[in-house]
Amino acid sequence: MRTSEDALIRRAQALDPGALAELYDRHFDGIYRYLYTRVRHQADAEDLTEQVFLKMVDSIQRYRPRGVAFSSWLYRIAHNLLVDRYRRAGREAVELSADVQDGRPQADPAMMAQNSEDRRRLMQAIERLTPEQQQIITMRFIDGLDVEEIARLTHRRPGSIHSMQHRALASLYRFLLEQEEVEARHA
Domain count of the fold of the chain: 2
User: Same domain for 90 and 160?
Assistant: no
126 pLDDT above the threshold of 80: yes
User: Same domain for 3 and 89?
Assistant: yes
* Distance separating alpha carbons of residues 126 and 172, to the nearest angstrom: 7
pLDDT of residue 177: 87
User: Same domain for 84 and 169?
Assistant: no
pTM here?
0.53
pLDDT of residue 101: 45
* Distance separating alpha carbons of residues 5 and 11, to the nearest angstrom: 10
pLDDT of residue 36: 85
The domain that holds 127 is classified in CATH as 1.10.10.10
DSSP state of 104: S
User: Same domain for 110 and 143?
Assistant: yes
12 pLDDT above the threshold of 90: yes
User: Same domain for 2 and 70?
Assistant: yes
Nearest to 154 by CA among 19, 54, 30: 30
pLDDT of residue 104: 42
User: Same domain for 118 and 170?
Assistant: yes
116 pLDDT above the threshold of 90: no
Domain span at residue 184 reads: 103-187
Integer Rg of the chain from CA: 18
pLDDT of residue 110: 62
151 pLDDT above the threshold of 70: yes
Are the CB atoms for 93 and 38 separated by under 8 Å? yes
